[in-house]
Structure 1
Amino acid sequence: MPGQRWYTPYLFALPALALFGVFFVWPALTAIQLSFMEYDVVSPPEFVGLDNFVKMVGDSTFWTATLNSVLFLIGLFPLLVVAPLLLAVLVNQKLPGIRTFRMLYYLPVVTSMVAVAVAWEYVFHQQGVLNWILTGAGLLDQPIQYLLDPFWALPALILVEGWKSMGFYMMIYLAGLQTIDSSLYEAARVDGASAWQRLWRITVPLMIPYIAVAITMEMLDAMQAFTSVYVMTRGGPQDATLTLGYYIWSAGFEHYAMGYASAVGLVLWVVMIAMAMLNYRITKGRS
């Protein structure tokens, strides 16, 4: 336009870019710098080269946290990628009360994770609701201390994380379902396709871009799981729920090994980027 200077759009974007630089770029660069240093908050940072990364390779606790994060990722897959798609198909139907159901199912998403974790602690308590139901139904001989049992603690946290976030992923799928032309389903019904065939042959192929988004977000959420671990188990029992997200926090703020924590965080960051890119390459050709 006449009289418009080339830098005018950048002036409008400047506040957002400034916030992005202060709260993301600068902390990220600082963390990368600290990953090559030994820093305990009190003493000045000391350059140690690759020592933090060498220490990481030989740290059995780091590998335990990595394994738990991978198990977290695998456990969340059916809860945040598969189940929300089926729920989205359900709530996309014109059924009585379906809008109320959508609202109620989305409610955990907007609830604080701390509040959700505290509530679920009572559910998993030895005298909690879950044990009361299972023992009353005769499925258990005696109550289980789920959060104190190394076998049950991690599945319990996966269930909590999945329950809280499932509604969010359902809404992603719902947005995708509403872009599909209903005439495709009508033609399939005329040809005698069953509900399962319509889901597998029409819905899933057309939803590949949305499934790719859900998988990427699920991987990132699983690898960074922290709040539920912090509130419910603190990484225990016996490191059974120690995730990379909690391990980084513990190294930095409990043991004051900021350099080592930054190194682990850098590795996690690289892994998450690699996983997102791999998922993009795999799903790109199918969308």
Structure 2
Amino acid sequence: MIVGRIPGQRWFTPYLFALPALALFGVFFVWPAVTAVQLSFLKYDVVSEPVFVGLDNFVRMASDPRFWTATGNSLLFLVGLFPLLVVLPLLLAILVNQKLPGIRTFRMLYYLPVVTSMVAVAIAWQYVFNQQGVLNWLLTGAGLLDQPIQYLLDPFWALPAVILVEGWKSMGFYMMIYLAGLQTIDSSLYEAARVDGASAWDRLRHITVPLMVPYIAVALTMEMLDAMQAFTSVYVMTRGGPQDATLTLGYYIWSAGFEHYEMGYASAVGLVLWVVMIGMALLNHRLTRGKA
């Protein structure tokens, strides 16, 4: 008996298998997303009844200097993470793809920060960036600093410090994405290039990078999304300070919603961030499509 030949019989079977996943998707994504869109047009402080205000939240956002500061910092976050999460992991993946002694141990150790809680990582790095921390000790000992710097309290150094922590924690994850891509490349291509006298740089430029474009596109999209949503490291290390130097859109949304109880305004900012991230992902897809 061939299943599906009789009209109306068992047509719903595939949907039954998908039902648990669809239910979870609806409860934890679709419903919160629809609710957030609704809240973005309301004034709601959790205690009082929601009041419809139309586009007032978006008008306020456009004239709020802290929103533009957060947007600028998030874009700086994106630029700062690019070499740490898109470029450097590719070079590391090329390294760990070699058959070298102890390379499996190196892979494991380098991936360890990825599975470590960001809260724990941020607290540990706070000690590194402390005025009496390891970084100041090394730099002053090497004669590169005259006096210690309190990095997380300095408006110039605070954002680069947080970017470094985010990049350090996630670098191993992006390295594994690239490593998976490298292992799909036919080794005969490299052997033929060596026979033709191609240098390591030539092999990287003409073989590795072109064939890795789909993986680079994935890494770039994920890097953009991570940068625009950065929250935990900012919350633990700086709380958006000093002087809003590390105020990101992710932290700004949380602050508006859970510190000032402006759920409608926070939802409006979140909706704008959502649209921006979708636009970035589509733009990246368009630019990299067909280049592999």
Question: TM-score range with shorter-chain normalisation?
Answer: over 0.9
How many residues were matched structurally? Answer: 287
Other-structure match for 1:186: 191
Q: Which residue of 2 aligns with 1:70?
A: 75
Determine the structure 2 residue equivalent to 1:2: 3
RMSD of aligned residue pairs (Cα, Å): 0.7
The one-letter amino acid of 1:149's match is: D
- 1:285 Cα offset (Å): 2.6
One-letter amino acid of the structure 2 residue matched with residue 245 of structure 1: G
Q: Which residue of 1 aligns with 2:98?
A: 93
TM norm structure 1: 0.99
User: In 2, distance between residues paired with 1:20 and 1:178?
Assistant: 33
Q: CA deviation at 1:36?
A: 0.3
Q: Equivalent of 2:248, from 236, 239, 243?
A: 243
Distance, in Å, in 2 between the alignment partners of 1:85 and 1:193 is 20
Calculate percent identity across the aligned residue pairs: 87
Q: Distance in 2 between matches of 1:247 and 1:120?
A: 22
CA distance in 2, matches of 1:60, 1:194: 51
Moved more, 3-12 or 88-97: 3-12
Of the candidates 151, 154, 166, which is equivalent to residue 159 of structure 2?
154
Q: What is the deviation of 1:12? A: 1.0
1:213, CA displacement in angstroms?
A: 0.1
**TM-score, normalized by length of structure 2?**
0.97
Partner of 1:132 in structure 2?
A: 137
Quote the residue 1:285 is aligned against.
290
Match of 1:197 in 2: 202
**Match of 1:137, as an amino acid?**
A
Partner of 1:264: 269
Aligned counterparts of 2:187 and 2:26: Cα–Cα separation in 1: 45
Per-residue CA deviations over 1:126-153 (Å, capped at 9, x if unaligned) read 0000000000000000000000000000
Q: Tell me the distance in 1 between the aligned counterparts of 2:15 and 2:205.
A: 46
Aligned to 1:275: 280
Q: Distance in 2 between matches of 1:144 and 1:216?
A: 34
1:232 to 229, 237, 243: 237
Partner residue of 1:38? 43
Partners of 2:173 and 2:279 lie apart in 1 by 24
CA distance in 1, matches of 2:26, 2:172: 32
Following superposition of structure 1 onto structure 2, how do residues 206-221 of structure 1 map, counting pairs within 5 Å?
Answer: 206-221=211-226
* Mapped partners of 2:75, 2:195: distance in 1: 44
CA distance in 2 between counterparts of 1:70 and 1:64 reads 10
- Alignment of 1:253 with 2:253, yes or no, is no
CA distance in 1, matches of 2:11, 2:244: 56
Q: CA deviation at 1:2?
A: 2.9
- Unmatched segments (≥5 aa) in structure 2: none
Letter in 1 for 2:80: G
Q: Deviations over 1:56-91 (max 9, x none)?
A: 000000000000000000000000000000000000
Letter in 2 for 1:2: V
User: What is the one-letter code of the residue matched to 2:216?
Assistant: I
- Hey, what's the Cα distance between the residues in 2 that align with 1:251 and 1:2? 55
Give the Cα–Cα distance (whole angstroms) in 2 for the partners of residues 237 and 86 of structure 1: 34
| Residue 57 of structure 1 pairs with residue 62 of structure 2 | yes
Structure 2 Cα separation of the partners of residues 106 and 57 of structure 1: 41
